[in-house]
Amino acid sequence: MRHSPELESDNMQTAVNSPACTATAGYTGPSIPQRKRIVVAMTGATGALMGIKVLIALRRLNIETHLVMSKWAEATVKYETDYHPSNVKALADYSYNANDMAAPVSSGSFRTDGMIVVPCSMKTLAAIHCGFCDDLISRAADVMLKERRKLVLVARETPLSEIHLRNMLEVTRAGAIIFPPVPAYYIKPATVEDLVDQSVGRVLDLFDLDTKDFERWNGWKKA
């Protein structure tokens, strides 16, 4: 349950004025560490399960998540998975409408540890490349670049045209990381989910987060 700012302010003021708090007003001990905070965006590209798995992994790792889903992401979730968009949104701590340009994640003053666009369509890639912030996803990504925060784009398209490659090069030069979900076959996957878990684990490696959900390369194994 999310409390209103007014209620939190009243509670905080009551606590500050209490005798117990007054007695320890000079306390300078260690503060409670703040949870990591990551923005997750899902677009209409195929691969909705990857975005869902990212949210599940971050939830398990106790990372605060802020989700933005495009209209076509919701449609793809329904088409490709057994999830309903409302179930996906429930996996995040906070969820925003893609047209809500006043959402907290639209501002550079809102502190985050980075953003993952998963899956990332070529349309969204193009918008990020040229700074065309016509929705909350491209705006939040633009904020990550201007504030020098980590931005990972899990680009889903093949084959790639010169336009796609040029856009990828330019956003990389601007500070983003292009992460095509290329599977590692040495894990000998038995299911599609094995491949998804490996890609999700490698994406979160970029944020120094270990899902422990996939096999890492440890050299050739003896037969």
- Is 45 known as a binding-site position? yes
The predicted pLDDT at position 167 comes to: 98
The predicted pLDDT at position 222 comes to: 74
Q: What percent of the chain clears pLDDT 90, i.e. is strictly above it?
A: 81
- Is 158 known as a binding-site position? no
In a domain, 117, yes or no: yes
In a domain, 157, yes or no: yes
Assign residue 50 the CATH number of its domain.
Answer: 3.40.50.1950
In a domain, 17, yes or no: no
Contact by Cβ (8 Å): 40, 66: yes
Q: Helix count (H) and strand count (E) of the chain?
A: 9, 6
Range(s) of the domain holding residue 102: 37-206
- Is 175 known as a binding-site position? no
- Letter for the amino acid at 27? Y
201 Cα distance to chain centroid: 13
In a domain, 23, yes or no: no
In a domain, 26, yes or no: no
Kindly report, residue by residue over 111-167, the tens digit of the pLDDT: 999 999 999 999 999 999 999 999 999 999 999 999 999 999 999 999 999 999 999
- Is 124 known as a binding-site position? yes
- Is 70 known as a binding-site position? yes
Whole-model pTM: value is 0.84
In a domain, 213, yes or no: no
**C-alpha to C-alpha distances, 60 to 15, 53, 91, nearest whole angstrom:** 31, 11, 10
pLDDT reading at 93 higher than 50:
yes
Q: What angle, rounded to 10 degrees, do the helices at 48-60 and 71-80 form?
A: 90
All residues at 6 or more sequence positions from 22 whose CB lies less than 8 Å from its CB, including other chains = none
- Is 26 known as a binding-site position? no
In a domain, 19, yes or no: no
- Is 121 known as a binding-site position? yes
Domain count, the chain: 1
